[in-house]
Amino acid sequence: MAPARTRVVLVAMLAAAAHAEKAAAAVANRFVPADPQFVVANVRQATPDTALRELIARWRASPDDAASAALAAAFLDRASALREPMYVGRAEAVLGPAAANPRASAAVRRLYAEALQYRHAFNTAEALLDAILLATPFDAAARQQRASVRLVRGDFIGARADCARLLAGGGVQSIALACLAEAMAGAGQLQRAQALLAAYPLRNDDADAARAYFLTVRAELYERSAQPGRAIADYRAALDLAPGADPIRAALADALTARGDLAAAAALLGVARPSLALTVRHVACTRGGEQASLRSQATAWLDLEAARGDAQHYREVALLALETGEAQRALGAALANFKVQRELADVRVLARAAVAARDLAARRELEAWLRQTGFRDARTENLLAAAAAG
Amino acid sequence: MKRFLIVVFWIAACVSMRTAHAHATSTSYLLIDVPAATDPVVLRWDLAIQDIMWTVFIDQDYDGVVTWREILAARRYIEPAVLGEIALGRGGQSCALHFKDMALAERAGQNFLSVTLSGACPRQGLLAVSGSLFMSGDASQRVLLSSARGRERLTGVLSASAPAWNEPARASAWASFARFVREGVWHVALGYDHIAFVLLLLLPSVLRPVGGQWRSAEGLSQVAREIVTIITAFTIAHSTTLALAVTGMVHVPTQPIEVAIAASIAVAGGLNLLPKLSRLRLPLAFGFGFVHGFGFANALSEIDAGGTALLPLLAGFNIGVELAQLMLVAAILPLIYAARGTRWYATGVLPLGSCALGAAGVVWLLQRL
């Protein structure tokens, strides 16, 4: 009977381990196709194109710093364009030995940090970026990367410093401003962050991706200050500019679900090859057989992740457990998630889980963090206030 | 800028935004049947086409689609490639592997190439799997290994940084028993609520109720007899429910048990303040012992038993719990026995200690509701 807090988190982890064993031991039935033309697999995404083959050949012939960086960058671009994580693994395999060289270039180390971020190895990634910035403080790419890592981890003060230097250093203004506003809002300056973005007229000549990022941050700030209509409009505009950006799609779906517009959220989430984050959200806005099928897909995915020993996606575990009424499991996962990530969605899922589990200590922990950082979110505050009152 | 945007958008949700299908491509499944001594070792290896095509040329018409015909045609390349990627050993000696057959297996909505291999191995010894296992060039590759050894199921995860699996030695019944004795002791040592309940049973045991007041008990043997009686009743009760729960004969959800354990502490604390009700301590210990047994069963279920047989597991854990309780009694009893005659024990230590522990029980109760 270990202390309650530890036990709640441990139970979440042990449950993951139990699922992992089940997934590892699962036996799929074998079959031999009767038709020789039976399509076994579509391998277009996994097939290197001519340019990639050339980079591979160049790297094999001479695996120096430049060749490693070029090949790894190509792998990472492919990973994001195709949403195919295999290429992140390939980039990491190229970059690992290259980055181990004490004289590795900043490009190699920055790319290696990026590959590490994909599997949530934030400590190592940030340490690499720290080292780059110590040697070359004007490396804007490394600074941008470190700011984004710090934002995810809830280090808003550190992120604010990086974003401010980006702005002063003449980086892309819309990106630097949005970055600064996001950091300020996290550090207790929600209104000032909104004023900062309001003062900047979004320019049509900015790249679509830059505008999408700006609009997404502005939408999140609207959401946090209880202006869901404006938030949804900005999320929609951002998604129009970057239709492949699943994080924007997920944020818009969350906003629609919170407003009770489940049909619109479900329509938004019903995409081909949905990700885990979209699938888990889809579970929340469907019913009946479709919901059961989506839940089973998400569960299988999380089981596989646990079986592989990957960083468990506790935010999704918590969201799924909330949908299935497993409040204690949701709380354990939300607490484990909060140790790693402290974005708006992480704060909200922890609040929901703490309230659902009727765990006073967890609620107080979250309230203390909100007070300490100055992080404001109307929905979270309303939820916690209602729980305290009722 | 492009990379920055990718990072901003992908760090937050980078892995959770992957598709389920995509992730399955970096995973292969290796199933091993550990056979009787005279039979060959049989391995089944399910591989994603997208993973092995970096090593074996399969898509012969370059159309981005692999058909069963293309796999059959590529068999002469697949066989040596597969055999070159895996090594099997037994008892420290290598086994000669032979390609038996290939088929398909559906996993996570994808068709995996499922090959079976037969290994001519020494008759005895523990198995070892190693090799590059199609993992070179992709740091995210994992091999999920599952092996059946009689009724025991063994699992393992192999990666580029840990590309070997060694069959664990069979634990003897004695080693399992000893391990679970330690687990039982450790569990009580960490379990503050269990310790609180035992302390509440102990505190009044060196006193006797006389006319509604506490008086010090006469003689160590009388005190020891009463403690032994109460602790034995508690032990019989919690051993019974522990056995019932571990054998699966009774299942009680965790939360009500945790609530009831907290309640037992609050009740025991209150009871210690009322000398007239001290005769209820024995039925209280016996009754709440059943509840604590379910709590032990929940804790035991969180320990990876690793295929340990039920008897050494249950006996070991139970004995470990009893040993820890006896150690607690041995540490506390001499102190309270020596202090029982003082005025401050009956009027200070007992009521204040009981109030403090009982209040802790109330707090835990509210937290667990």
Give residues with Cβ within 8 angstroms of A314, minimum separation 6: A12, A333, A334, A336, A337, A340
Q: Are residues B323 and B198 in the same domain?
A: yes
Assess if residue A379 is contained within a domain.
yes
**Sequential DSSP letters for A241-270:** H-TT-HHHHHHHHHHHHHTT-HHHHHHHH-
In angstroms, the separation between the Cα of residue A381 and the nearest Cα of chain B is 21
Note whether residue B4 is domain-resident.
no
**Reported confidence tier of residue B12, pLDDT bands at 50, 70, 90:** very low
Nearest-Cα distance to chain A for B264, in Å, is 14
| Chain mean position to CA A176 | 20
**Number of domains observed in the structure of chain B:** 2
Query: Across residues B110-119, what is the average pLDDT?
Result: 94
pLDDT digits (tens, 9 = 90+) for A287-305: 889 999 999 989 988 888 8
| Residue B27 to residue A247, Cβ atoms within 8 A | no
The whole-number pLDDT of residue B279 equals 83
State the best of B10, B136, B186, B362 to mutate against chain A, taking most chain A CBs within 10 Å: B10
Q: Are residues B285 and B359 in the same domain?
A: yes
Would you write out chain A's pLDDT as a tens digit for each of its 390 residues?
Answer: 334 444 445 445 445 544 545 555 556 889 999 999 999 999 888 888 899 999 999 999 999 999 999 999 999 988 877 777 789 999 999 999 999 999 999 999 999 999 998 888 889 999 999 999 999 998 988 998 999 999 999 999 999 999 999 999 877 788 899 999 999 999 999 999 999 999 988 888 888 888 999 999 999 999 999 999 999 999 999 999 988 888 899 999 999 999 999 999 999 999 887 888 899 999 999 988 999 999 998 998 888 888 888 888 899 999 999 998 899 999 999 999 999 889 999 999 999 999 999 999 999 999 999 999 999 999 999 999 999 987
* In a domain? residue B3: no
Residue A275 belongs to a domain: no
Which of B166, B184, B215 is the last residue in one of the domains? B166
Domain-embedded: residue B5? no
pLDDT, residue B67, reads: 96
Residue A222, pLDDT score: 97
Considering only alpha carbons, which residue of chain A is nearest residue B142?
A308
B330 and B356 in a single domain? The answer is yes
Domain final residue pick, B106, B132, B166: B166
Strands B27-33 and B142-149: parallel
E strand or H helix that includes residue A195:
helix A190-198
Tell whether the torsion through CA atoms of A293, A295, A300 and A304 is positive or negative.
Answer: positive
Contact A30 B64 (CB under 8 A): no
Angle between helices A344-356 and A327-340 (to 10 degrees): 150
Domain residue limits at B136: 19-166
Is residue B11 over pLDDT 50?
A: no
What residues pair up with B19 in beta bridges, in sequence order?
A: A275
Higher local confidence (pLDDT), A95 or B314: A95
Kindly report the nearest CA distance between residue B212 and chain A, in angstroms: 35
Q: Assess if residue A367 is contained within a domain.
A: yes
Please report, as a single letter, which amino acid is at residue A161: A
Cβ-based contacts of A118 with chain B (< 8 Å): 10, 14-15
Q: Give the count of Cβ contacts less than 8 A between chain A and B.
A: 260
Query: Which of A37, A43, A313 comes nearest B15 by C-beta?
Result: A313
Answer with the one of B166, B190, B212 that is the final residue of a domain.
B166
- The stretch B80-97 carries a mean pLDDT of 94
**Residue of chain B minimizing CA distance to A84:** B22
Residues of B in contact with A89 (CB under 8 A): 26, 138-141
Could you list the residue range(s) of the whole structural domain that residue A389 is in?
311-390
Q: Do A43 and B364 touch (CB under 8 A)?
A: no
Is residue B6's pLDDT more than 70?
no
Q: Are residues B114 and B44 in the same domain?
A: yes
Query: If you average pLDDT over residues B309-330, what whole number do you get?
Result: 84
The torsion region of residue B114 among left (phi > 0), alpha (psi -120 to 50) and beta comes to beta
Q: Could you tell me which residues come within 8 angstroms of residue A18 by beta carbon, excluding any fewer than 6 positions away?
A: none
Q: Which of B9, B31, B157 sits opposite A309 (nearest CB)?
A: B157
How large is the average pLDDT for residues B321-327?
88
pLDDT recorded at residue B16:
37
Tell whether B146 and B283 lie within a shared domain.
no
Q: Are the beta carbons of B17 and A275 separated by less than 8 Å? A: yes
Work out the widest C-alpha separation in chain B, in whole angstroms: 99
- Asked, for residue A45, whether it belongs to a domain, the answer is no
The verdict on a CB contact (< 8 Å) between B144 and A343 is no
Q: Which of A50, A38, A43, A82 is nearest to B59 (CA)?
A: A43
Chain B nearest-CA distance from A195, in A, is: 22
What pTM was estimated for this model as a whole?
Answer: 0.70
Nearest one of B113, B105, B124, B110 to B85, comparing CA atoms: B113
Long-range Cβ contact pairs of B358-363 (< 8 A, separation 24 or more): B358/B200, B358/B265, B358/B266, B358/B268, B358/B269, B358/B270, B358/B272, B359/B269, B360/B196, B360/B265, B361/B193, B361/B196, B361/B262, B361/B263, B361/B264, B361/B265, B361/B266, B361/B267, B361/B268, B361/B269, B362/B262, B362/B266
Pick among B8, B65, B67, B133 to test the A interface (most A CBs inside 10 A) = B8
Per-residue model confidence (pLDDT) at position A170? 74
**Which run of H or of E encompasses B44?**
strand B41-48
Q: Average per-residue pLDDT in chain B? A: 84
Contact between chains at A275 and B107 (C-beta distance less than 8 A): no
Rounded Cα distance, A11 and B220, in Å: 44
Nearest Cα residue in chain A from B153: A25
Please report whether residue B70 resides in a domain.
yes
Domain-embedded: residue B46 = yes
Q: Which residues of B touch A80 (CB under 8 A)?
A: 6, 10
Q: Which of B198, B196, B197, B289 is nearest to B238 (CA)?
A: B289
Q: Give the span between the Cα atoms of B308 and B18, in whole angstroms.
A: 38
Q: Is residue B122 part of a domain?
A: yes
pLDDT of B19 higher than 50: no
The structure tokens 């010894």 sit at: B125
For residue B13, pLDDT beyond 50: no
Residue in A141, A212, A341 closest to B4 by CB: A141
Question: Domain check: are B123 and B183 in the same one?
Answer: no
Kindly determine whether residue A45 and residue B50, on different chains, have CB atoms separated by under 8 Å.
yes
Q: What pLDDT, on a 0 to 100 scale, did the predictor assign at position A82?
A: 79
A198 secondary structure, DSSP code: H
CA distance B125 to chain A (A): 23
* Complex confidence, ipTM: 0.78
The CB density around residue B201, as the number of other CB atoms within 10 Å, is: 24
CB contact under 8 A, B19 and A274: yes
Q: Do A1 and B261 touch (CB under 8 A)?
A: yes
- In the listed set A98, A123, A153, which residue is the last one of a domain according to the structure? A153
A225 and A234 Cβ atoms separated by less than 8 Å? no
Q: Among B22-31, B139-148, B192-201, B330-339, name the one with the lowest average pLDDT.
A: B22-31
Please report residues of B whose CB lies closer than 8 A to that of A31.
Answer: 103-106
Query: Please, are residues B295 and B195 in contact by the beta-carbon 8 Å criterion?
Result: no
pLDDT of residue A281: 95
Q: Which whole number is the average pLDDT over B130-156?
A: 87
CB B242, CB B318: distance < 8 Å? yes
Do B148 and B182 fall within a single domain? no
B161 and B178 in a single domain? The answer is no
Phi then psi dihedrals of residue A26, to 5 deg: -60, 135
SS3 content of chain B, % helix, strand, coil (to 5): 55, 20, 25
Separation between Cα atoms, residue A361 and residue B256, nearest integer Å = 19
**Closest CA–CA distance from residue A40 to any residue of chain B (Å):** 5
Q: For residue B7, is it within any domain?
A: no
Determine whether the interchain pair B16/A43 forms a contact, defined as Cβ–Cβ distance below 8 Å. Answer: no
For the cut 50, the answer to whether the pLDDT of residue B4 exceeds it is no
Q: What is the pLDDT of residues B207-227, one digit of tens each?
A: 888 877 888 887 888 888 888
- The sign one gets for the Cα dihedral A217, A222, A226, A227 is negative
Q: Are residues B107 and B180 in the same domain?
A: no
* Any domain includes A265: no
Please tell me whether residue B31 adopts helix, strand or coil conformation.
Answer: strand
Tally of domains in chain A: 2
Check whether residue B38 and residue B92 sit in a common domain. yes
Mean pLDDT of B21-46: 79
One domain, residues B121 and B35: yes
Backbone angle region of B7, left / alpha / beta, with phi > 0 → left and psi within -120 to 50 → alpha = alpha
Interface touch A246/B13, C-beta < 8 Å:
yes
Give A162's contacts in chain B (Cβ within 8 Å). none
> For chain B, how far is it from start to end, CA to CA, in angstroms?
51
Using CA atoms, how far residue A274 sits from A235, A236, A278, A301, A314, in Å, is: 19, 18, 6, 12, 18
Reading phi first (left if > 0) and then psi (alpha if -120 to 50, else beta), residue B248 is in left
- Write down which residue in A153, A169, A204 finishes a domain: A153
Q: Residue B177: beta bridge partners?
A: none
Mark whether B316 and B210 lie in a shared domain.
yes
Which of B2, B65, B68 is facing A42, going by the closest CB pair? Answer: B65
Alpha carbons B303 and B291: distance in angstroms, whole number: 20
Contacts of A10 in chain B (CB under 8 A): 302
Q: pLDDT digits over A313-340, tens only?
A: 899 999 999 998 899 999 999 999 999 8
The nearest alpha carbon in chain A to B147 belongs to: A25
- Using the 3D structure, point to which of A130, A153, A176 is the last residue of a domain: A153
Q: Which of A43, A73, A309 sits opposite B64 (nearest CB)?
A: A43
**Position B8 in a domain:** no
What does the pLDDT look like over B330-339, one tens digit per residue?
Answer: 898 889 888 8
Q: What is the distance between the alpha carbons of residues A277 and A280, in angstroms, rounded to a whole number?
A: 5
CATH number at residue A149: 1.25.40
Residue-level pLDDT at B37? 64
